[in-house]
Structure 1
Amino acid sequence: MIRAAWDRLRLFNIRELLAHRGRTLMSLTVMGVSAGLLVAVFSISGSVTGSVDRLTHSLGGQAVLEITGVTDAGFDQRLQQRIATTPGVEKAVPMLRTQIGSGAERALLIGADASIAALGSELAGPMGAQAGKLLSVPNGVLVGAAMGRVEGERFALGSGTVTVAGVLDDNRSEQLNGGHIVAAPLGVAQQVTGRPGRLDSIQIVPAHGADLGALRAALTEVVAGRAVVAEPSLRTIQAGGAIQLVRYSTLMSSAAALIVSAFLIYNAMSMAVAQRRPVLSLLRAIGGQRAPMVRDLLVEAALLGVLGGAVGAVLGVVMGRNAIDRLPAAIVQSVEARTEYLVPWYAIPVAIAACVLAAVAAAAIAARQVYKVEPIEALVPVGVARTDRVNPMLWWAHIVVGLGLTAAAISVAEADLGRFSLAAISLSFTAAVALCFAATGPIVHATAAVARLFGAPGALGATTLERAPRRVWATAMTVMIGVAATVAMGGASRNMVDSATATFDDLGNTDLYVSPTAMEQFPTGPLLPSDLRDKIAAVPGVSAVRPAQMAFATLGSGRVMLQGYPTEIDGSVTSAVDREVVARMGAGQGVVISRDVARSLGAHVGSDVTLPTPTGDHTTTVLQVIPYFSAIAGVVVMDLGQLRQWYERPGETILAVTLQPGVDHSTVAAAIRQVAPAGMHVDTGAATVTAISSSVRQGAAMSAAILWIVMLVATVALLNTLMLSVLERRRELGVLRAMGTSRKFLLRSVLAEAAGIGLIGAALGLAVGAAVQLLATVAMGHAMTIDIRYAPSPILLVYGTAALVLALLGSIPPALRAARMPIVEALAVD
């Protein structure tokens, strides 16, 4: 039986694929692009979380719990003794973990003592084997291979100078932050970073048979909110949160490409079925069963999905690798580990499975058109058989489903579900396709009406359109989805970027900013030198210097960004915070939180929230909930003095400098650079707004690039469908030529057909895209926790015109080929 099934598949399906190489190649290409986009999206998020996960396991080894600092200030080292004596703890290994350098030079400094041997981690072996060197060499450290250092070399690290006692081998370096790592004895690391008596992490190895739940509860009681007790995977979860929005937006764009590919497969399979009707009817007449024929067609489609997905996976690996280098600086900076390109194990199988599922689903719909008719009925032309008409029950079902999905999309978009609100976009596209299916008749009639506007040639094209309603509908949907996705997502992204940028406009009111990192990143550290504020204030031309501080902190299982402002100096914390709230915040009456933090905590104005800090849990009142561009994390705004006290972070991470009237800004900025330590960034307010805006636009650019690829996929699918339509009618065109029809008439007929499909598809795309853009704007507002202003763009008409032009261009090559083909050859086509 297996041999018979293989012979049947080889003779009636694989042979057809090879005979129609053009159709097969185009189907594989479009399906491959869709698979490539999916692999690229999975690889982007997988690289960020995978890099953190690999580093966490390489450092933690056998540890099953980790005690981490609430912020990068860590916690008091004296906690270690109490933690180590907690019942159920076998070993408590202290560590100092901090980032050093920036940009391409960014690395991780690890400080640990001899107890690290208990972890059995990738770092434990080298530190144990070279303990003698580390102790004998003054301020000796081990470095990863990627650091470019040699044994015996001295270099500046933090506030001190260290000596390379050894270099990790390539294999070990690869597991430890890609070789961008410096390992030092705990005391040396604390000394050069200016953090004596502080720890960032304690790795917990439990005693044999210990109850992990009870142990975690006991440790939580011991730390009393001064640190976070969690599994080591918490770092991976937090890294996933930083990339979550990029993953959602790019995944939806990739899904649009996959839908377009499904429509292409549907068209290709419909044409294949129409072409094979004589063979299929003959098989049915001699006793062939419907089920094997259906299965063969589905296997054929699955084969296209597998081959296209496999080829696309290779493309996706390359695309993902390029995208990793273009991640926004704010995302890269917020993650402890250096992001290395990693393709998750599930990326390629899921992408191929998605392609197979889309291809099989599309082929199943195509198979229904012919395989459920009687043998004699399979010989009738396309459009005459009753299976080419929409069943009334199916028509009503699609109306009900479409309206239901529309209502669901509106409800999800309006509900404040955070990033889950973005599901409204996918629901709305599905609803549009369902409603358009119910409107197949009007859509076909509209395309035919447009074609008839072109006179007698258009009348011939209109007849062709009306004979194949399913093909016309699927082709129009291809155009509609491509245009609608680009209009909706592209327009909503532009609205989001413009609104997000507007929230930072008040930063431009300050003359200069001084920070340790570039302003397209969040200035969360390191802390500025304690005397820098006074030095800058003494620079001629400086009127005032206002300090502020930002820091990432753990709250629950996620992270928030703490923002501390000197409310006693002036009330201009941020334009989103009411002035009376600033005064209350300065009096220590409470804090201001962003919408996403309020949502995660279930808090509102007047609620009490408990913040874990290195000085213990602090309960405070929510004074205001504000919109804030929360692409990486939500924010908690408080008085600077309160932040310094609670989180044990004395100092500031950014200085806002106001200049005296009439002074030359460039001259004063140059003078400030002279008194500031090397590597400090001095930027104008306008340049700061531009830098932040560019970072926001960079985050949206990835999704926008995928949308243009979706448009390209839709274009290829459209061109392919129109070319196939003309090629399948070569015999018909040959008959018309034999009857005396001119080449020009045939060309105009095909162009009229393409114009009808392109114009109606583009019009539907513009209408659906504008509606979905409005819905997406609301959904993105909840996801980004800002108020996004809906603003339609005149570029909508450009998209519609482009689709129409592409439809016309796509019909020219095959029309020319058919018109120029000798009549005898055209009539000889099977």
Structure 2
Amino acid sequence: MGLFALLYRLIVRPVFRHPGRALIIFFAVALGDAAVVAINLAGDAAAGSFHSSMETLAGKDDFEITAAGGLPESVVAEVARLPYPLSISPRIEDHGMLVSTGETVPLIGVDVVAETSNAGTLVGTIAQDATAIQGLRYINDPDAVWLTHGLGKAVGDRVQLLINDHVQAYTVRGLIPESGPDGSKLGTEAVLMDIGAAQLATGKSGRVDRILIKTPSAANFDAWQSKLQQALPAGVLLNAQGTETAANRHMLAAFRWNLTMLSGIALLVGAFLIYNAVSVSVVRRRADIGTMRALGASRGAVMGAFLFEAALYGTAGSLAALPLGRALAAGAVGMLSTTVNALYVSSSPGQMKISAGSVALALVAGIGVALASAFAPAREAGMVPPIEAMARGRREFEVRVERKHDAGIALALAILGALATLFPSIAGKPLFGYLSALLFVAAAALISPLLVHSATSLGSGGLLRMLGVEGLIASRSLGGSLRRTSVLVAALATAIAMMTSVGIMVGSFRQTVLTWLDSELPADLYLAPAGAMGGDRHPTISLETSDRIAATPGVESVSRLRAYEIQYQGLPASLAGASQSRSIPRQNLTFLSGRSSIDVIRELASGNNAVVSEPFANKHHVKADDSITLPIGEHQVTFRVIDTFYDYGHEAGFIVVDWSTLIRYLPDTKPTNLAVYLEPGADLERTRAAIRNAIANKSLMMLSNGEIRHEAIRVFDQTFAITYAVEAISILVAIGGIAGALLSIVMDRRREFGVLRYLGGTSAQIRKLILVEAGLTGLLANVLGLVLGYVLSLVLIYVINKQSFGWTIQFHWPVEVLLSSLTVVYIATVLAGLFPARIAIRLDPMEVVHEE
């Protein structure tokens, strides 16, 4: 028999006979694949960090010199005096907020005079523009700025920028080209100033944030690094340009990896449905397969035909996933950007575009999953002898016989899954945690035939009493079609399990954060510079403002905190100094050792001591009494770690020292945050109003501890909104698959329904029969999914999240959320049976019976 004739008889003709089934499979692949594409596109758009934007604006340099708290200008002079032909570019790098729009953008200060003649720099690119060069005449004006085109300003416009805690008016003297000096598109909007004006605006007089160096020969990288390092103080870092961006991306890798794994669940559910659809196709066409084999079709040809069918679904679904994933990514990028800014690094969403990589990802994911899930039933179709293929019930009999054997394999997989949780992460990724989750999912799939058989056998009598003969027939029917039913239950249970496990994890995390906030917020009021906040952004408050607040009536004391971004062992972290106040007894930080916060804070002030956050301790394997050496200013300073505190606000990790210790090495005493403690009996709103009057000329954000709690939980819920969206896609795919599978079952049982109608069965009874089958399927999936979800939640909380982010989460059952979610899924599963029931009712009994 020819290949094309075989494909037409086995594949093409059934598709045209039952287009609804084909559309549901296409929908499952497309939606699942779209979730993967959307997370990939949104992650690429949201993960561009502040410093990567700075690199685009800088051009191609070889080295960057940085230090915590900035570099003294004397370091710039030392590097400039080296007897080497180096191109040196000192820079100020900060943020400013456009008051008119509320948009926060990078603020860059460069030595405009020195770089004007260098075509390889940003300023050199500007200077080549005939109109822009006119604006360079105003370079010595402290209010001159250059803006990117996307900010919508014209030359000569006045703009107000909020920098740190004050607003200043500036004049736009030119526009930055839309491409960087290397021809690449700028990754973000930005404001450019002369370095002197930028130092004045940011309060960094006498210091720079970074020195970029271009060497004559990048090939001798190691030699140049050795020469330059010898001329630098001990605490100053010399790295290849882009090292900090690479560190940020490394830190973000676990976050994006987890999201990618979560989005893959939708594909996994789709894989179950493809497996089920091809299995049903094989069962329904066994007679045709036997005929084809008898007429000379080879095993390979039959197997290839069904794989070809799966590949078609995978290809069509993958192509549809590209525009659908792009649409989903548009909604996801805002959520991801909020998370990246809050927990990681300051970023602006980049452009979302479907690249060759996106197309490849969609095709590999869609087609690969379709072929992998269809391989087993396709192989079965090719291996069955012609005579056996004519026996329709053979495969169902084998599944019933092998259910106990499969349950034994499930137990073995579950034991392996438990053992996998004991292994550490690999390169910061909890690979064994994911393997454990996959093994538990596989175990649940293999146990589903035994679950379905046992439940339908034991429950048939009860269903007869409760629902009548329809309940009995539905129960027996599900047990009789064990192969199809067990796959359906496994598919929906997997989606429910992910919903349950992530729901428990998020609910536990949320409750843990609420408890943590109670101990983290002992003060009555908290102040920080206005504007958008970022995990790595630390604008300052003037000392005058701090002193005014401390002198306000009703204020008992003010605690100051100053934070800096540093690098430790190649990863970003935050170094902070906290001042003690007269309100120490009110502070109730929670430490892993269980010591009282008063004892720890007092010991902190007794020397070069530090406390570190739990994420930092887990990332760098640091514990109490260990020593850590930090690059601070121009020094390498060693601290003794005295304890570890719980922290859920900064994934990179915090190192906290006493205020007096910090200013010994970094003598800039301007705080980044203030905690205000009120006198006993002082009225909160009246004191807040008095503070506002005292700092009326400053742009500060002032929140009570209750308002911070509310805002923190709002950001938390927004952060996990993308998680719920991906879960919803998985559930939607599963329920769609239930509808498709029930429809296939109806078509496969046409003769059975015809006989029931001949025996007096009414339309209402047929409808009730199918809806009861859908309800039983949903009930079994809910039970299996809830148990599997509980197990997976333990893996998520105590393995994957612990190894990825270093957070200790206290287990908590979000009962209301789980009950409502499971109820909605169950109702949707029952409703999915309405359309197949309608098709069954419309079948002509005489025509159906005559077909046989």
Q: One fold, TM greater than 0.5?
A: yes
Residues 438-449 of structure 1: pairs in structure 2 closer than 5 A = 438=447, 440-449=449-458
Q: Give the corresponding residue for 1:264.
A: 273
Residues 660-671 of structure 1: pairs in structure 2 closer than 5 A = 660-671=679-690
Structure 1 CA distance, aligned partners of 2:737 and 2:210?
Answer: 54
Deviation at 1:243, TM superposition (A): 4.1
Against the structure 1 CA distance between its residues 35 and 452, is the aligned structure 2 distance closer, same or farther, given a 3 Å change threshold? farther
Q: Is the 8 A contact 2:47 2:337 kept in 1?
A: no
Q: Give the corresponding residue for 2:837.
A: 815
Q: Is the 8 A contact 2:97 2:531 kept in 1?
A: no
Q: Is the 8 A contact 2:50 2:106 kept in 1?
A: no
Against the structure 1 CA distance between its residues 360 and 395, is the aligned structure 2 distance closer, same or farther, given a 3 Å change threshold? same
Deviation at 1:126, TM superposition (A): 0.7
Against the structure 1 CA distance between its residues 355 and 209, is the aligned structure 2 distance closer, same or farther, given a 3 Å change threshold? closer
Q: Is the 8 A contact 2:536 2:574 kept in 1?
A: no
- Give, as a single letter, the amino acid of the residue that structure 2 aligns with 1:63: D
- Give, as a single letter, the amino acid of the residue that structure 2 aligns with 1:74: G
Q: Give the corresponding residue for 1:679.
A: 699
Deviation at 1:265, TM superposition (A): 0.6
**Secondary structure at the counterpart of residue 564 of structure 1:** strand
Does residue 166 (structure 1) correspond to residue 174 (structure 2)? The answer is yes
Deviation at 1:152, TM superposition (A): 2.0
**Secondary structure at the counterpart of residue 541 of structure 2:** coil
**Secondary structure at the counterpart of residue 832 of structure 2:** helix
Q: Give the corresponding residue for 2:319.
A: 310
Residues 505-516 of structure 1: pairs in structure 2 closer than 5 A = 505-516=518-529
- Give, as a single letter, the amino acid of the residue that structure 1 aligns with 2:156: G
Q: Give the corresponding residue for 2:575.
A: 562
**Number of residue equivalences:** 824
Deviation at 1:616, TM superposition (A): 1.6
Structure 2 CA distance, aligned partners of 1:92 and 1:523?
Answer: 26
Structure 2 CA distance, aligned partners of 1:404 and 1:123?
Answer: 63
Q: Give the corresponding residue for 2:157.
A: 153
Q: Deviations over 1:250-293 (max 9, x none)?
A: 32321221111111111111122222222211110011101122
Q: Give the corresponding residue for 1:457.
A: 470
**Residues 796-805 or 192-201, more deviating:** 796-805
Q: Is the 8 A contact 2:72 2:206 kept in 1?
A: yes
Does residue 584 (structure 1) correspond to residue 580 (structure 2)? The answer is no
Structure 1 CA distance, aligned partners of 2:485 and 2:339?
Answer: 46
**Secondary structure at the counterpart of residue 809 of structure 2:** coil
**Secondary structure at the counterpart of residue 746 of structure 1:** helix
Does residue 788 (structure 1) correspond to residue 798 (structure 2)? The answer is no
Name the % identity.
23
Residues 147-296 of structure 1: pairs in structure 2 closer than 5 A = 147-157=151-161, 158=163, 161-170=169-178, 180-208=189-217, 210-240=219-249, 243-244=252-253, 246-296=255-305
Structure 1 CA distance, aligned partners of 2:82 and 2:849?
Answer: 90
- Give, as a single letter, the amino acid of the residue that structure 2 aligns with 1:288: A
- Give, as a single letter, the amino acid of the residue that structure 1 aligns with 2:716: V
Q: Deviations over 1:765-818 (max 9, x none)?
A: 111112222332223345443432212233444444444433332223322331
Residues 312-391 of structure 1: pairs in structure 2 closer than 5 A = 312-327=321-336, 329=338, 331-332=340-341, 335-343=345-353, 345=355, 346-383=357-394, 388=399
Q: Give the corresponding residue for 1:477.
A: 490
Deviation at 1:47, TM superposition (A): 1.5
Q: Deviations over 1:69-126 (max 9, x none)?
A: 43xx321122123334557763222222111117842112222224546572555311
Against the structure 1 CA distance between its residues 325 and 428, is the aligned structure 2 distance closer, same or farther, given a 3 Å change threshold? closer
Structure 1 CA distance, aligned partners of 2:437 and 2:598?
Answer: 40
Within the candidate set 535, 541, 554, 1:541 is matched to 554
Against the structure 1 CA distance between its residues 257 and 523, is the aligned structure 2 distance closer, same or farther, given a 3 Å change threshold? closer
Against the structure 1 CA distance between its residues 115 and 281, is the aligned structure 2 distance closer, same or farther, given a 3 Å change threshold? farther
Q: Is the 8 A contact 1:559 1:633 kept in 2?
A: yes
- Give, as a single letter, the amino acid of the residue that structure 2 aligns with 1:125: T
- TM-score, normalised to structure 2, is 0.89
Q: Deviations over 1:608-641 (max 9, x none)?
A: 1110112221111111122322553211011112
Q: Is the 8 A contact 2:159 2:170 kept in 1?
A: yes
**Secondary structure at the counterpart of residue 36 of structure 1:** helix
- Unpaired runs of at least 5, structure 2: 592-596
Q: Is the 8 A contact 1:377 1:385 kept in 2?
A: no
Q: Deviations over 1:525-558 (max 9, x none)?
A: 3110120122112323222222222333222321
Structure 1 CA distance, aligned partners of 2:454 and 2:850?
Answer: 32
Q: Deviations over 1:463-499 (max 9, x none)?
A: 4323332211101102211221111111111101210
Structure 2 CA distance, aligned partners of 1:408 and 1:118?
Answer: 60
Residues 25-36 of structure 1: pairs in structure 2 closer than 5 A = 25-36=23-34
Structure 2 CA distance, aligned partners of 1:231 and 1:490?
Answer: 42
Does residue 74 (structure 1) correspond to residue 70 (structure 2)? The answer is yes
**Secondary structure at the counterpart of residue 211 of structure 1:** helix
- TM-score, normalised to structure 1, is 0.91
Q: Give the corresponding residue for 2:594.
A: none
**Secondary structure at the counterpart of residue 666 of structure 1:** helix
Q: Give the corresponding residue for 1:65.
A: 63
Q: Give the corresponding residue for 1:55.
A: 53
Against the structure 1 CA distance between its residues 80 and 183, is the aligned structure 2 distance closer, same or farther, given a 3 Å change threshold? same
**Secondary structure at the counterpart of residue 86 of structure 2:** strand
Q: Is the 8 A contact 1:476 1:757 kept in 2?
A: yes
Does residue 575 (structure 1) correspond to residue 589 (structure 2)? The answer is yes
- Give, as a single letter, the amino acid of the residue that structure 2 aligns with 1:319: L
Structure 2 CA distance, aligned partners of 1:211 and 1:497?
Answer: 51
**Secondary structure at the counterpart of residue 680 of structure 2:** coil
Q: Is the 8 A contact 1:298 1:363 kept in 2?
A: yes
Q: Give the corresponding residue for 1:90.
A: 86
**Secondary structure at the counterpart of residue 527 of structure 1:** coil
Q: Deviations over 1:396-420 (max 9, x none)?
A: 88347513432234324xx588963
Q: Give the corresponding residue for 2:738.
A: 718
Deviation at 1:45, TM superposition (A): 2.2
- Give, as a single letter, the amino acid of the residue that structure 1 aligns with 2:171: T
Deviation at 1:421, TM superposition (A): 4.2
Q: Is the 8 A contact 2:346 2:534 kept in 1?
A: no
Deviation at 1:304, TM superposition (A): 0.8
**Secondary structure at the counterpart of residue 528 of structure 1:** coil
**Secondary structure at the counterpart of residue 671 of structure 2:** coil
Structure 2 CA distance, aligned partners of 1:735 and 1:534?
Answer: 90
Structure 2 CA distance, aligned partners of 1:358 and 1:641?
Answer: 59
**Secondary structure at the counterpart of residue 340 of structure 1:** coil
**Secondary structure at the counterpart of residue 213 of structure 2:** strand
RMSD value, Cα: 3.2
Structure 2 CA distance, aligned partners of 1:815 and 1:59?
Answer: 63
- Give, as a single letter, the amino acid of the residue that structure 1 aligns with 2:126: P
Q: Is the 8 A contact 1:383 1:466 kept in 2?
A: no
**Residues 157-166 or 556-565, more deviating:** 157-166
Q: Is the 8 A contact 1:27 1:265 kept in 2?
A: yes
Against the structure 1 CA distance between its residues 176 and 776, is the aligned structure 2 distance closer, same or farther, given a 3 Å change threshold? same
Q: Give the corresponding residue for 2:96.
A: 100
**Secondary structure at the counterpart of residue 376 of structure 1:** helix
Deviation at 1:439, TM superposition (A): 5.6
Against the structure 1 CA distance between its residues 84 and 34, is the aligned structure 2 distance closer, same or farther, given a 3 Å change threshold? farther
- Give, as a single letter, the amino acid of the residue that structure 2 aligns with 1:791: H
Q: Is the 8 A contact 1:730 1:829 kept in 2?
A: no
Q: Is the 8 A contact 1:521 1:692 kept in 2?
A: no
Q: Is the 8 A contact 1:751 1:811 kept in 2?
A: yes
Q: Deviations over 1:45-81 (max 9, x none)?
A: 21133465862442232213222343xx321122123
Q: Give the corresponding residue for 2:710.
A: 690
- Unpaired runs of at least 5, structure 1: none
Q: Give the corresponding residue for 2:727.
A: 707
